[in-house]
Amino acid sequence: MSMPTRPSDSPTRRNAGDKPTAPPPRPLVRRLWWLAMAVLLAWNLYAFFAPKAPPAVALSYTAFLGQVRADNVASVTLAGQNADGVFKNAIVQPPDVGASAPTAAPTAAQPSAASATPATFTRFTTVMPVTGDVQLLPLLEQHGVSVTVKDTTGGSWFLDLATSLLPVALLVGMLFFMGRQSQRGTQSLFGFGGSKARVYDQEKPGITFADVAGQVEAKAELLEVVDFLKRPQRYRHLGARLPRGVLLIGPPGTGKTLLARAVAGEAGVPFFSISASEFVEMFVGVGASRVRDLFTKAKAAAPAIVFVDEIDAVGRQRGTGMGGGNDEREQTLNQLLVELDGFDDQTSVIVIAATNRPDVLDPALLRPGRFDREVTVGLPDRAGRQAILVIHTRPLRLSPGVDLELLARRTPGFSGADLANLANEAALAAARRGETDEVDVRDFDEAMDKIVLGTRQAGLQDEGERRLVAYHEGGHALVARLTPGADPVSKITIIPHGRALGITEQFSEEDRRNYSRAYLVGRLTILLGGRAAEEVVFSDPTTGAESDLKQATGLARRMVGLWGMSDELGAIWYGVGETHPFLGREMGAPKEYAEATAAELDVAVRKLVERAHQQALEVLQTRRACLDALAAELLLHESLDGSQLDALLAADRACALSRDGQGETAALAAYDERRQ
């Protein structure tokens, strides 16, 4: 049972190199080659295994006429000067083949005189005179011979030529293809240390700054870089030096890679793109070799831009953590540092790198002269979120009732990737529903629930567990509703989502960057409202508050150790609650406080949590009637939104009065005014 508080494209590329490389064979071409080879194989197998026609004896024209007159010819086919046919009775070819006519096959009563069995034939072929024979057709008709005439004026020579050349062409093509594959394999073997960077092809349509929204300051910084590459003399005339590197810093999903692609679309210069993980290999020296090769190609193509994505894969601090660092990675980093120093003032090559972990980068990488500029790509504000939603909802068929400004207000803390996912999930929800061909507000509500709360699960079946979850979530909601300055409650549900059995959802309608001590103390009280409700109603807490206790303890530890919000310890930074990215750094680093202070820190954290717990208990004990009414509504409807909660509390007089019977109405009025 948790309480979420945060509702919080690529251009075509080609291989880089001094000389264009042949594109890899496409899958369609490969399929066609295999199909051609299969046809050739089937053809040969058919020719080999096909039933053979019986052999034919070659007769002289005189012998052919003799067989006709002897009524031993059943049919004949005439094709120009050539003729072939079928005997009525098989004949025996005599040993002395010549002009004499073959004799009829011997019967059992008349055995052959030859010692060897003679060959018998049922078919024959012959060649007719060039001058023709006008008496042939009447003779054939007289003896009842079936005559078939074939036209020999067609272009059968083309079919014969194609039939003869097709196997040869397929064989030559196969040998050529195998040679290309072998050559490509050899090139990859000897080019193992070459750069795998992809270069942007400006002839293809790509992403521009018009496709990027919500990052006005970052775009302004990068537009200056693009302008320097397009018109370097304008800056050099004033003595300005070209920036060596630009580091894009920001949380995941804020559009760092998208901004780099937009630079490629705006610059009109070669744009080399590579992931830092592509430098690192298991073989020693390969990463450094690839760095050298990348910068060699970039300098040859200057002015140019080199984009290194996730640079922390090779740019981590050297010699950190237990056991030091990775030698191959550190050699790659050293070579990268050397190359960044190797530019002269006239070389127009800019390196753009992106990371979401600037705290792990080596200090030598961040010094001036290497990465001169750090561009923060943060979470968008409300106006930025609305502009991003406009871009990502362009392909959708939106219902007129969808208000993008309201969606932007409901999504503080959402990154550009979160908003893109929200639009896509809403379209998927509309497709699943299938009632209309438009995406409406219900679809966006369902998408918000799925993203923030998690995938909806089957409802709880046990009535006792449903009642426990209803009181738990009712405790969160009621404490949040009665805590001054707390974020408004937008939804309460006892339907399981993800791994939570129930959820109380709060959305801040304003973008917050600083949090007051009163707000954080109220946040602690709200987190412990579910546990307090279990104690008030059932007098027996359950394991359902594990996530709440973890969040509350972590928040209290940061309040004491990082933000100096403890009355006992004062405004001192102790580093308690700070996370370390490297294994062993926390164990190896000296503590900034004594052991006695550590005990005081634990006591201060416990006091903050216990004080918030006691305050939640007091609120729920005083408003027990409200808690019962809210739990009953949750058991009946399973989900309530913020307006339904307000209506429930306003309708019940016991909920509208404080312990002394006055003062609470003004707080409710202030809350309603803040929501409006």
Integer Cα distance of 353 and 310 in angstroms? 7
pLDDT reported for residue 549: 93
Integer Cα distance of 278 and 436 in angstroms? 47
Residue in 412, 438, 416, 417 with CA at minimum distance from that of residue 426: 438
pLDDT reported for residue 97: 43
- DSSP secondary structure string, 315-364? HBPTT-STT---HHHHHHHHHHHHHHH---TT--EEEEEEES-GGGB-HH
* DSSP type of residue 450: I
- Which residue shows structure tokens 């295999």? 34
- DSSP secondary structure string, 74-135? EEEEEETTEEEEEEEEEEE--SS-SSSPPEEPP-SSS--SSSSPPPEEEEEEEE--TT--TT
What pLDDT digit, counting tens, does each position of 218-256 carry?
A: 888 888 888 887 777 787 777 777 777 888 888 888 888
Integer Cα distance of 415 and 253 in angstroms? 6
Predicted structure pTM score:
0.61
pLDDT band at residue 108, thresholds of 50, 70 and 90? very low
CB-count exposure of residue 587 (10 Å: 0-12, 13-18, 19+): exposed
Count the Cβ atoms, other than its own, within 10 Å of residue 17.
16
**Bridge partners, residue 127, by sequence:** 82
pLDDT reported for residue 121: 83
Specify whether 473 is catalytic: yes
State the catalytic residue, choosing from 473, 505, 534, 633: 473
Q: Give yes or no for a contact between 493 and 452, defined as CB atoms under 8 angstroms apart.
A: no
pLDDT at residue 383 greater than cutoff 60: yes
Integer Cα distance of 483 and 490 in angstroms? 15
Higher pLDDT residue, 220 or 201? Answer: 220
CA angle 634, 638, 644 (to 5 degrees): 60
For the chain, list the domains and their CATH numbers. 56-153 (3.30.720.210), 198-376 (3.40.50.300), 382-452 (1.10.8.60), 463-675 (1.20.58.760)
Buried b (16+ CB within 10 A) or exposed e, 278-308: bbbbeeeebbbbbbbbbbebbbebbbbbbbb
Backbone region of residue 502 per phi and psi (left: phi > 0; alpha: psi in -120 to 50; beta: other values): beta
Per mean pLDDT, which of 205-209, 454-458, 576-580, 609-613 is the most reliable? 609-613
pLDDT reported for residue 160: 63
Pseudo-torsion of CA 655, 661, 664, 668, nearest 10°? 50
Q: Give yes or no for a contact between 120 and 105, defined as CB atoms under 8 angstroms apart.
A: yes
CB-count exposure of residue 597 (10 Å: 0-12, 13-18, 19+): middle
pLDDT reported for residue 7: 39
- The values of phi and psi at residue 335, to 5°, are -65, -35
pLDDT reported for residue 615: 94
pLDDT at residue 481 greater than cutoff 80: yes
The helix, strand and coil proportions of the chain, stated in percent and rounded to the nearest 5, come to: 50, 15, 35
What pLDDT digit, counting tens, does each position of 637-654 carry?
A: 888 888 888 888 776 655
pLDDT band at residue 343, thresholds of 50, 70 and 90? low
- Which residue shows structure tokens 């960077």? 197
Both tokens assigned to 318: 């050297």
